């Protein structure tokens, strides 16, 4: 989109003029502050109600609430994120209709949350799906059902919808004052660094092809189907940082790129990511298509909210929102579950034959504390806090290089960049929504989380705009709205030893053949495919036990 | 009446005053000629054909002065008061004539009417000045001295105006500021008379307010003249910029020289009035002669109405739907007199329905079917436009075609951008169309390419053509089908949303041409 320089200067003039007037009015004290005025920007903090979740910290108080309702169901699913919705869809397709899903929030979808305004829909969390490996048949079938796969060619390769395959131009990186194509640093990168980068990708290609002694792929999705071969699994015992040092990958450009990748996919750093997980990110994408390549992704203006809505639409069993489940107890016929209606503060008591707990483990431990007190001490599950902001803009001033892409990353900055939410929208609209993602990796997750909960909207706004101004000088004047979502527990971190350790395996085990567990954190990495897989796995187990 | 006139008593210091009055003659004479020159220059800028414009402007102006002189006999009573009044009016009408004409050029359908009305009005007011002044001075000087001195200063003023106008005023101030500046001089003369003569006391207060208001308006106009017309664009375009506007989607600029009018969008030439008929005849008639009975036609892009003008030559067409993103374009080509005469009022035809919407989203919502579709988008120079040349777009377009429907796509230059041209052809073929690539020579553009897309082989080159075409006939169409070796088919990628192959080759191929 061409930005009219005339318009920019006029807007800048107006902004500067109003900023100048403000300075005069409020006196010299403000002179030391930033000269950018943000008073024209609307918006505020939005997001999942972490207050509701925090009620679980005081369960005795919940037990005192009056009971308003009693229900019975064959299967109760607690949690309306992707894993819970996947379990519900599976059961529905297998003819099990007496299913009830509880969601503590006002909306289902979990990490696939999204918003919408007059310009575009926009994600607040997960926002794309790489085209899957054809061996992931269940996922391929789902994509066919939702119209993302429109057919198969003569070689039986799926044909993906042109509307959902990420349009070109896809990715750019702002480095050395230039927007280059692709995210791997190239612009102004010395030859020796380029050599290391090349070597790293050669290594990744080997891992992509590699198979263990058991004949299974070294790295695949869902990761449960990866080889058990110790040769690969031992990579989980060391950090990605140690692995890179060991292999002599010292290039700061390569290290930046891999740090970016870990932060982007896991919300963790090279030091806090297992080497197995770090390699899995690159070596597990084996999608094939008639009209796309292995690195292609599917995306939508609302991000994975599209997939979550489709999952939900594929079943008709009831969903109760604003209902916070807790206090699971075994009963004569199965399981008794209490739930607090967060809107009315009343209790609903449910009797279910089987329960699927599709919540993250920091919630799950509260739900099953009577049955498995030892779960409350589980320490391997670490979650990365994130902040996600959606900015509505009427123009994007920028320097030289590629114009706005789907994914836009700035070298060596605090965020992992922003995506253009309108990217798949075919209309030529000068107004856009950009979604800014920032994992809070500078401090220990607990410290960063507490700080994030107390950071004000204005403070976030200043941080975000300061960063964007570096690559987009003058952008502040074009921003009309900024909505900010803080994810206290944004995603599971695959820290060293976690993926192939004991704790994860134990957490998957059902209780007494009546309580089953489903969540992407049980895979150790927070991606749609794993949530989808874990949901179906738990549903299969529950169905078998019915 | 006579007694009132005799109340005019010259103040002491007659000789110096009488000189000052003659200086006023000099000033108003200069102003008068300047307004005439401003109107003539402006008319040639905006409408072209300077001989015609200057000739008619001078004629109307002099004739109006004659009317003014004739009307002067009906003005009686306090002549000095009348004179000051007329000076203020001349200052306002003459001073604002240039900015007013520039602003109205965009909006009014009958620009010439406004132009000649303003010229006439200024002429009448200027025509009143000298007779009135002579009557004011008639008791001061003998008749022969009066006539001799007044006309001497009048003609010296005219000479001065004719010299400083091209040499100093236009280069330094530009048209708008010149016009406003001389308006201020007229007001200055009014002010001078108002304060120099004591018998103006009775009406001084009221006139002072009017004077101040006029000076303020003219000064504000003078200060903001840059905003009315951006001269910056004169640097980028070789010809005079006569119109420029930034819409939310693009920058529209019209330029004119003695030969032609040109339209630029974001700095890219869209047409030249000198040869656009070649481009538009080649766009429309090859497809129409094969479907002469087409009833419903869709035009995508083409907000200038030129393609619609060609379509309206087929009486069988009942309905034309034009979809153009930018209301700024379609309204300009519906309202502006010059442009409306270029497109023959096509966008005002009752058969034409205009939709200002994005073509991609519109075509996905539309449910109608069309016998012929004319796809006249800008060249694929950026990713937003590249999408409109993709397999996905053509798949959607196919759903809008009648069973025997056919469409044509303007496809950039097969000479300059050979890969891009054949990429468009190959993309259409991939979607499943029979394609007929062809090209035409348009001097302003060079060799220009088009691709016809059909669902079947029902195609002919010898179909009926409307009379009066200047470029296309059956033989021209046959010639257009032949591609010389330097433009012949090359293998290319297919343009899809997820590769935007066309934008990339287009950039490469046009880069040496500085596009």
Q: What is the pLDDT of residues A320-373, one digit of tens each?
A: 999 999 889 999 999 999 999 988 889 999 999 999 999 999 999 989 988 887
pLDDT bucket at A426, cuts 50 / 70 / 90? confident
Coil/strand/helix, residue A219: coil
- pLDDT over threshold 70, residue B109: no
Choose, out of B496, B498, B504, the residue to mutate when testing the contact with A (most A CBs < 10 Å): B498
pLDDT at residue B4 above 70? Answer: no
- State the catalytic residue, choosing from B154, B366, B371, B376: B376
Tell me the three state secondary structure of residue B408. Answer: strand
Q: Which CATH number covers residue B328?
A: 3.40.50.150
> Where does the pLDDT of residue A17 fall: very low under 50, low under 70, confident under 90, or very high at 90 and above?
very low
- Count how many residues are written for chain B: 515
Count other C-beta atoms under 10 Å from residue B53's C-beta: 21
A252 and chain B in contact, CB less than 8 A: no
- Tell me: pLDDT of A404 over 90: yes
Distance from CA of B15 to the nearest CA of A (A): 55
Q: Is the dihedral of CA B45, B231, B443, B263 positive or negative?
A: negative
Asked if B155 and B71 sit in the same domain, the reply is yes
Predicted pLDDT of residue B1: 36
CB contact under 8 A, A427 and B248: no
* Phi, psi angles (nearest 5°) of residue A248: 80, 20
Residues B320-348: pLDDT tens digits?
Answer: 999 999 999 999 999 988 899 999 999 99
Selection from B477, B371, B512, B487 nearest residue B425 by Cα = B487
Q: What is the ipTM of this complex?
A: 0.78
Per domain, the residue ranges of chain A are 7-20+36-47+382-493, 50-111+319-380+495-545
User: How high does pLDDT run on average in chain A?
Assistant: 90
Strands (E), B215-341: 240-246, 251-256, 261-265, 268-272, 296-301, 319-323
What is the dihedral angle through the alpha carbons of B51, B54, B60, B66, rounded to the nearest 10 degrees?
-120
Among B52, B216, B73, residue whose Cα is nearest residue B135? B73
Q: Which of A26-40, B169-183, B497-511 has the highest mean pLDDT?
A: B497-511
The residue ranges of DSSP E strands in B212-358, in sequence order, are 240-246, 251-256, 261-265, 268-272, 296-301, 319-323, 352-355
Q: Say yes or no to pLDDT of A87 above 90.
A: yes
Is B483 strand, coil or helix?
coil
Q: pLDDT of B47-72, one tens digit each?
A: 766 788 888 999 999 999 999 999 99
β-bridge pairing A432-439 and A418-420: antiparallel
Higher pLDDT, A103 or B14: A103
Give yes or no for residue A4 having a pLDDT over 50: no
Residues B326 and B262 grouped into a single domain = no
Closest by Cα among B409, B422, B310, B332 to B109? B332
Percent of chain A with pLDDT over 70: 92
Examine the domain organization and report whether B195 and B252 are in the same domain: no
CA gap A458, A455 in Å, rounded: 8
Q: Tell me the per-residue pLDDT of B449-464, one tens digit each, with 9 for 90 and over.
A: 999 999 987 888 999 9
- Tell me the residue range of the domain where B252 lies: 232-269
A2–B contact, CB cutoff 8 A: yes
Q: Are residues B349 and B439 in the same domain?
A: yes
- What is d(CA B350, CA B344) in angstroms, rounded to the nearest whole number? 13
Residues of A in contact with B233 (CB under 8 A): none
pLDDT above 70 as % of chain B: 93
On the question of pLDDT at A542 being above 80, the answer is yes
CA distances from B453 to A378, B363, B477 (A): 66, 17, 16
Strands, DSSP E only, in B377-433?
Answer: 401-410
pLDDT reported for residue B110: 76
Residue B376 a catalytic site member: yes
Most confident of A51-65, B15-29, B481-495: B481-495
Q: Provide the token pair at A86.
A: 């996947």
Residues flagged as binding site of A: 83
Q: How far is CA A297 from CA A121, A259, B434, in A?
A: 18, 21, 32
Residues B247 and B352 in one domain: no
Own/partner contacts of A440-446, CB < 8 Å, gap of 24 or more, are A440/A267, A440/A384, A440/A385, A440/A386, A440/A387, A441/A263, A441/A267, A441/A268, A441/A269, A441/A272, A441/A384, A442/A414, A445/A382, A445/A383, A445/A384, A445/A385, A445/A493
**Least confident range of B131-145, B415-429, B466-480:** B131-145
Distance, in Å, from the CA atom of A414 to the CA atom of A269, rounded to the nearest integer, reads: 12
Choosing from B196, B228, B260, the residue where a domain stops is: B228
Q: Specify the pTM.
A: 0.77
Q: Per the CB < 8 Å rule, is A168 touching B500?
A: yes
Q: Does CATH place domain A50-111+319-380+495-545 in 3.30.70.2860?
A: no
- CB contact, 8 Å: B365 with chain A? no
CA distances in angstroms from A205 to A210, A279, A286, listed in the order given: 9, 10, 11
Q: How many domains does chain B have?
A: 3
In this structure, the answer to whether residues B264 and B300 fall within a common structural domain is no
Under an 8 A CB cutoff, do B383 and A168 touch?
yes
A7 and B CB contact within 8 Å: yes
Residues B300 and B238 in one domain: no
Q: Which of A6, A131, A162 is the best mutation test for B, with the most CBs of B within 10 A?
A: A162
Where does the pLDDT of residue B35 fall: very low under 50, low under 70, confident under 90, or very high at 90 and above?
Answer: very high
What are the Cα distances from residue B166, in Å, to A91, B37, B185?
Answer: 87, 9, 19
Chain A interface disruption, residue of B325, B383, B500, most A CBs within 10 A: B383
Mean local confidence (pLDDT), A284-299: 95
The CATH class, in words, for A7-20+36-47+382-493 is alpha beta
Q: Are residues B483 and B504 in the same domain?
A: yes
DSSP one-letter code for A216: S
Mean pLDDT in residue range B354-364:
93
The SS3 of residue A355 is strand
pLDDT of residue A6: 37
Q: In what order do the strands lie in the sheet with B251-256?
A: B240-246, B251-256, B261-265, B268-272
- Cβ–Cβ gap B496/A162 under 8 Å: yes
Q: Kindly report the nearest CA distance between residue A474 and chain B, in angstroms.
A: 19
Distance of alpha carbon A397 from alpha carbon A416, whole angstroms: 19
Average confidence (pLDDT) over B302-311:
96
Are B116 and B254 within one domain?
A: no
Residues A100 and A305: their CA atoms lie apart, in Å, by 21
Q: Hey, which residues does A299 pair with through a beta bridge?
A: A128
Same domain? For B400 and B365 the reply is: yes
Q: Give pLDDT tens digits for B200-224.
A: 888 888 899 999 999 999 999 888 8
Query: For residue range A480-518, what is the model confidence (pLDDT) as tens digits?
Result: 999 999 999 999 999 999 999 999 999 999 999 999 999
**Residues linked to residue A77 through DSSP beta bridges, in sequence order:** A101, A356
Q: How far is CA A544 from CA A91, A427, A447, A532, in A?
A: 11, 48, 43, 18
pLDDT, mean of residues B383-410:
94
Band (pLDDT 50/70/90 cuts) for residue B108 is low
CA distance A143 to A137: 10
**A166 vs B: CB within 8 A:** yes
From B309's Cα to the closest Cα of chain A, the distance in A is 27
The whole-chain average pLDDT of chain B stands at 88
Q: Which CATH number characterizes residue B128's domain? A: 1.20.1250
Residue with tokens 């057919």: A151
A342 in B contact zone (CB under 8 Å): no
Give contacts of B 248-307 with A, CB under 8 A: 248-251, 266
pLDDT at B11: 45
Do the chains contact at A2 and B500, CB–CB below 8 Å? Answer: no
> Binning pLDDT at 50, 70 and 90, where does residue B254 land?
confident
Q: Is the pLDDT of residue B193 over 50?
A: yes
pLDDT in tens, A199-248: 999 999 999 999 999 999 999 999 999 999 999 999 999 999 999 999 99
């Amino acid at each position: 989109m061409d930005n009219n320089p005339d318009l920019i200067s006029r807007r800048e003039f107006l902004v500067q003029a109003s900023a100048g007037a403000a300075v005069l009015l409020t006196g010299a004290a403000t002179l030391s502050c930033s000269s950018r005025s943000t008073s024209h920007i609307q918006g505020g903090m939005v997001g999942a109600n972490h207050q509701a979740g925090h009620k679980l910290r005081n369960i005795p108080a919940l037990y005192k609430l009056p009971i308003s309702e009693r229900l019975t169901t064959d299967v109760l699913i607690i949690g309306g994120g992707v894993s819970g919705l996947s379990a519900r869809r599976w059961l529905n397709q297998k003819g099990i209709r007496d299913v009830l899903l509880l969601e503590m929030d006002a909306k289902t979808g979990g990490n696939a949350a999204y918003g919408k305004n007059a310009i575009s829909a926009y994600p607040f969390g997960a926002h794309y799906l790489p085209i899957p490996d054809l061996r992931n048949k269940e996922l391929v079938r789902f994509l066919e059902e939702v119209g993302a796969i429109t057919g198969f060619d003569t070689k039986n390769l799926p044909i993906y919808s042109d509307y959902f395959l990420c349009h070109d131009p896809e990715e750019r990186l702002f480095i050395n004052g230039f927007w280059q194509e692709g995210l791997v640093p190239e612009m102004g990168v010395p030859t020796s660094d380029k050599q290391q980068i090349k070597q790293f990708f050669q290594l990744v290609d080997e891992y992509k092809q590699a198979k263990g002694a058991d004949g299974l792929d070294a790295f695949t999705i869902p990761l449960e189907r990866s080889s058990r071969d110790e040769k690969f699994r031992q990579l989980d015992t060391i950090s990605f940082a140690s692995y890179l040092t060991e292999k002599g990958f010292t290039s700061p450009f390569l290290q930046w790129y891999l740090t970016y990748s870990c932060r982007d996919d896991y919300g963790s750093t090279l030091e806090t990511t297992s080497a197995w997980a770090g390699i899995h990110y690159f070596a597990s994408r084996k999608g094939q298509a008639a009209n796309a390549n292995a690195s292609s992704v599917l995306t939508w203006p609302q991000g994975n909210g599209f997939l979550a809505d489709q999952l939900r639409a594929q079943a008709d069993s009831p969903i109760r929102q604003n209902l916070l489940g807790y206090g699971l107890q075994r009963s004569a016929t199965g399981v008794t579950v209490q739930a607090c209606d967060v809107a009315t503060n009343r209790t609903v008591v449910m009797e279910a034959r089987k329960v699927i707990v599709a919540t993250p483990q920091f919630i799950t431990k509260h739900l099953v504390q009577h049955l498995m007190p030892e779960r409350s001490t589980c320490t391997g599950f670490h979650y990365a806090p994130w902040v996600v902001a959606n900015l509505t803009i009427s123009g994007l001033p920028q320097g030289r290089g590629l114009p706005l892409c789907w994914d836009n990353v700035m070298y060596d900055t605090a965020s992992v960049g922003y995506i253009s939410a309108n990217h798949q929208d075919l209309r030529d609209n000068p107004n856009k929504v950009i979604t800014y993602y920032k994992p809070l990796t500078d401090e220990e997750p607990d410290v960063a989380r507490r700080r994030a909960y107390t950071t004000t909207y204005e403070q976030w706004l200043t941080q975000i705009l300061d960063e964007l101004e570096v690559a987009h000088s003058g952008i502040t004047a074009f921003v009309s709205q900024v909505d900010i979502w803080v994810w206290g527990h944004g995603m599971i971190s695959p820290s060293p030893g976690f993926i192939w350790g004991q704790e994860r395996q134990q957490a998957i085990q059902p209780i007494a053949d009546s309580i089953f567990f489903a969540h992407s954190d049980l895979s150790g990495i927070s991606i749609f495919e794993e949530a989808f897989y874990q949901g179906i796995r738990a549903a299969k187990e529950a169905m078998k036990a019915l | 009446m006579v007694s009132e006139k005799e109340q005019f008593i010259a103040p002491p210091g007659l000789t110096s005053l009488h000189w000052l009055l003659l200086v006023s003659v000099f000033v108003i004479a200069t102003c008068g000629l300047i307004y005439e020159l401003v109107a003539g220059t402006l008319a040639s800028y905006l409408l072209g054909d300077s001989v015609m414009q200057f000739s008619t402007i001078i004629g109307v102006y002099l004739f109006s002065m004659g009317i003014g002189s004739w009307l002067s006999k009906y003005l009686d009573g306090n002549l000095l008061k009348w004179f000051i009044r007329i000076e203020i009016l001349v200052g306002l009408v003459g001073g604002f004539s240039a900015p007013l004409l520039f602003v109205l050029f965009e909006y009014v359908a009958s620009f010439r009417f406004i132009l000649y009305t303003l010229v006439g009005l200024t002429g009448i007011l200027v025509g009143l000045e000298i007779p009135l002044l002579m009557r004011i001075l008639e008791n001061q000087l003998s008749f022969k001295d009066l006539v001799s001195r007044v006309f001497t200063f009048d003609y010296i003023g005219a000479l001065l105006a004719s010299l400083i106008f091209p040499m100093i005023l236009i280069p330094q101030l530009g048209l708008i500021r010149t016009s406003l500046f001389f308006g201020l001089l007229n007001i200055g003369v009014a002010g001078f008379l108002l304060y120099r003569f004591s018998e103006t006391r009775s009406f001084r207060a009221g006139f002072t307010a009017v004077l101040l208001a006029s000076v303020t308006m003219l000064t504000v106009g003078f200060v903001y003249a840059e905003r009315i017309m951006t001269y910056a664009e004169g640097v980028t375009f070789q010809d005079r910029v006569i119109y420029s506007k930034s819409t939310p989607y693009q920058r529209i600029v019209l330029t004119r020289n003695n030969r032609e009018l040109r339209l630029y969008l974001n700095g890219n030439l869209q047409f030249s009035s000198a040869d656009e008929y070649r481009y538009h005849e080649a766009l429309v008639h090859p497809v129409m002669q094969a479907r002469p009975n087409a009833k419903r036609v869709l035009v995508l892009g083409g907000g200038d109405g030129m393609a619609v003008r060609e379509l309206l030559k087929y009486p069988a067409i009942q309905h034309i739907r034009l979809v153009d993103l930018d209301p700024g374009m379609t309204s300009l080509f519906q309202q502006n007199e010059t442009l409306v005469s270029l497109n023959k009022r096509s966008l005002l035809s009752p058969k034409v329905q205009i939709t200002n919407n994005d073509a991609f989203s519109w075509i996905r919502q539309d449910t109608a079917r069309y016998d012929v579709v004319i796809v006249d988008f800008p060249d694929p120079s950026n990713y937003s436009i590249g999408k409109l040349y993709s397999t996905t777009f053509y798949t959607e377009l196919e759903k809008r075609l009648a069973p025997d429907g056919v469409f044509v796509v303007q496809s950039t230059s097969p000479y300059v951008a050979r890969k891009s041209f054949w990429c468009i052809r190959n993309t259409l073929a991939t979607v499943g169309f029979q394609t007929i690539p062809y090209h035409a020579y348009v001097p302003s553009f060079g060799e220009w390419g088009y691709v016809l897309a059909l669902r079947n082989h029902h195609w002919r080159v010898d179909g009926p053509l409307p009379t009066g075409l200047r470029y296309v006939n059956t033989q021209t169409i046959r010639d257009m089908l032949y591609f010389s070796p330097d433009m012949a088919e090359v293998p290319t990628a297919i343009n899809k949303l997820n590769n935007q192959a066309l934008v990339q080759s287009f950039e490469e191929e046009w880069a040496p041409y500085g596009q």
